[in-house]
Amino acid sequence: MDILYLLIPLGMVFLALVIGAFLWAVKSGQYEDMEGPAHRILMDDDDPMIPRPERREQPDDLKRED
Is pTM beyond 0.95? Reply is no
Residues 31, 25 contacting (CB under 8 angstroms): yes
CA 27 – CA 37 distance, rounded (Å) = 19
Inform me whether the pLDDT recorded for 1 exceeds 70: yes
Higher pLDDT, 62 or 18: 18
Mind listing the pLDDT tens digit for each residue in 30-63? Answer: 888 878 877 777 776 665 666 666 776 666 666 5
- In the chain, where the domains are located: 1-29
Inform me whether the pLDDT recorded for 28 exceeds 70: yes
